[in-house]
Amino acid sequence: MTAAADTGLILRAAQFAAMKHRNQRRKDKEATPYINHPLALANVLWHEGRITDARIIAAALLHDTVEDTRTTRAELARAFGKSIASVVAEVTDNKWLDKKTRKRLQVEHAPHLSPSARLVKLADKICNLRDLAASPPADWSLARKREYFDWAKQVVDGLRGENRRLERLFDRAWRARP
Ligand code: NDP
Ligand code: ZN
């Protein structure tokens, strides 16, 4: 793709995600607009991970649309193509399963993720650990935060080897655990 087409794809994904998440907030006590989170992933990948593949940046922007909004994989495939929709599907939990099973499956599935999905998953975990350290949900106990950090590490330990730089960023965020 040309640079102009890359920019167009990224802008379209940002607008699509902003529209889909428009009524959602993060769990921190300021109830930050949800879109800040996909934008954070995209920035971590681009500026810190030096990932310049526009399809991966677009997948990061879209990564929570199927899990957290009414967006379907087919809708993403129509709007952004099958490969971006497939990366989003790989990082989407099955909403029909209970939370404990979803957490276990993320650990089990991590070693089988595609290279692109590994990058998006790494950025997601980096951003969530940073959020938990800087602006956690108001009602989370210290024990619950620590359990989340340890679970995130189990997921990331299963997908190492794809991008050392992002893995180091994750490890740095993990070492700052509460
Ligand atoms: P949740 O999955 O309910 O919440 C974490 C998710 O919320 C993140 O993965 C992120 O997902 C999203 N999120 C939204 N806002 C924020 C924010 N400000 N900071 C970080 N993440 C945010 O977590 P769990 O209920 O699974 O709890 C984590 C751990 O704690 C689990 O291991 C669970 O077993 C344990 N637990 C402990 C309890 C206790 O009292 N000790 C009680 C309940 C659970 P996304 O990127 O998809 O938006
Ligand atoms: Zn996320």
Those residues whose C-beta lies under 8 Å from the C-beta of residue 129, and which sit 6 or more positions away, are 148, 149, 152, 170, 173, 174, 176, 177
Domain holding 165, by residue range, is: 3-175
Q: Whose CA is nearest to atom 21 of ligand 1?
A: 128
Answer whether 151 contacts ligand 1 (Cβ < 6 A): yes
Measuring CA to CA, which residue among 54, 59, 71, 67 is closest to residue 19? Answer: 71
Q: How many C-beta neighbours within 10 Å does residue 143 have?
A: 9
Predicted local distance difference test score (pLDDT) of residue 1: 81
* pLDDT tens track for 32-61: 999 999 999 999 999 999 999 999 999 999
Q: Mind listing the pLDDT tens digit for each residue in 80-113?
A: 999 999 999 999 999 999 999 999 999 999 999 9
Does the Cβ of 141 fall within 6 Å of ligand 1? yes
Q: Which amino acid is at 146?
A: R
| CATH number of the domain residue 162 falls in | 1.10.3210.10
- Whole-number pLDDT of residue 127: 98
pLDDT value for 143: 97
Number of folded domains that form the chain = 1
Mean pLDDT of the chain: 97
